[in-house]
Structure 1
């Protein structure tokens, strides 16, 4: 077994490890640390492919391993977060960090996000169209979107948004939309910068700058906003290219 060939796989397994830690924090209702560990896992997820290409050790095993790790970090963890958000919506006055979901099946619908993520990851492995761009929202982006929601509620910096995210119908809509947008036939531009040519990377650079501004000014609320911006910019870019 060549050590060099296993470096990307080790990074992928570290992504999985981060997802497991995030899951523990999510069940302990510490969504801030869950968010941080999912973010770290996504960071590692980016670099496993980078090192596989750099070391020229890409493999079918690495592709499958990547999706299995993402299933936990970007599939199970966001589904768990939505589970607790829906539980909280059953009785907002009970306290976000002590949700009462006794006798209700509603919170379990949050795992529709997990099922949608699973389908997307399996489809991604067999879809040859997604080599240089994405079709449907990538699971890491969706995970960050969902995991930012309990933090918006917990910090209550935007009471109107917090009230909306405490409504079960709003949360069910977000759940259904999440599962749909993961698998929708919507081409989305890739965020990877493959050259140092400004013109060919202008879209990615503009998006990164907008993202930084949204995070700085809106903190956790900036995360769902930047995902929305990402989708809108992709739709506009697709329409522009067709003309």
Structure 2
């Protein structure tokens, strides 16, 4: 029974991701986002529980990636698909539309612009990353490429910023097709880039050996308090930037 506790947590992640998928398809992004966050919470603690109980194994590793594929792969892809669809590509001029470069039929029939499917690149990129992660022995204490939960958090924040932010510029940006496509391509690349990123796992808690992690957590907390939903994508950007700076410092010392 002890061996199944981490697996049950992982299945909790999968359940949250499955329900979040339903909400994402329905356009209820707030509910989908909440369930993704809960799923990521389960994802963090299943590994913690496995190490604590000394029951880490190949089954748990594979199960974890399968659950992540739904919560942090399928859901953000569907959300980005919806955002691109809703944006309507207003930045394209009428001449392009008349030439049927963009094939939009009836919104009532939910006939889709083929550009909207670009959002599903996030799902494909997440799948490729998770498959690589399972066979990459370098990623035991750190990450190579942006973790899928970080990508997922970035994406689920976008419709929340659009709906709840009081900053008009931020709202408009979340409705900009070019911006959304750029974010999709960038996140897909970062997930699979040969970019070393630090992990928030602590082997010990001294400030000297964990200064970057403590700085990241402190700044992230302050950003959430003062910026609310806008803080989420900024925290992911900060995570990447701090990792790059840390790696540069290590290379100079070496």
For structure 2, the 5+ residue unaligned runs are 91-106
- SS of residue in 1 equivalent to 2:15: helix
**Matching residue of 1:54:** 52
**Matching residue of 2:11:** 13
For structure 1, the 5+ residue unaligned runs are 93-97
CA contact under 8 A between 2:40 and 2:149: conserved in structure 1?
Answer: yes
CA RMSD of aligned residues (A): 1.5
**Structure 1: distance between partners of 2:138 and 2:197:** 12
**Matching residue of 1:127:** 136
**Structure 2: distance between partners of 1:194 and 1:170:** 39
Pick one of 180, 183, 202 that aligns with 2:211. Answer: 202
Q: Aligned ranges for residues 217-232 of structure 1 at < 5 Å?
A: 217-232=226-241
**Structure 2: distance between partners of 1:43 and 1:192:** 14
**Does 1:212 pair with 2:221?**
yes
**Matching residue of 1:95:** none
Q: Aligned ranges for residues 72-221 of structure 1 at < 5 Å?
A: 72-90=70-88, 102-221=111-230
Using the size of structure 2 for normalisation, the TM-score is: 0.89
Runs of 4+ in 1 over 6 A off after TM superposition: none
Q: State the shift of 1:103 in Å.
A: 4.1
**Matching residue of 2:243:** 234
Q: Aligned in 2, Cα 1:41/1:103: closer, same or farther, shift over 3 Å? A: closer
Q: State the shift of 1:217 in Å.
A: 1.0
Larger radius of gyration: 2
Q: State the shift of 1:191 in Å.
A: 0.9
**Structure 1: distance between partners of 2:109 and 2:235:** 31
Q: State the shift of 1:158 in Å.
A: 1.8
Using the size of structure 1 for normalisation, the TM-score is: 0.93
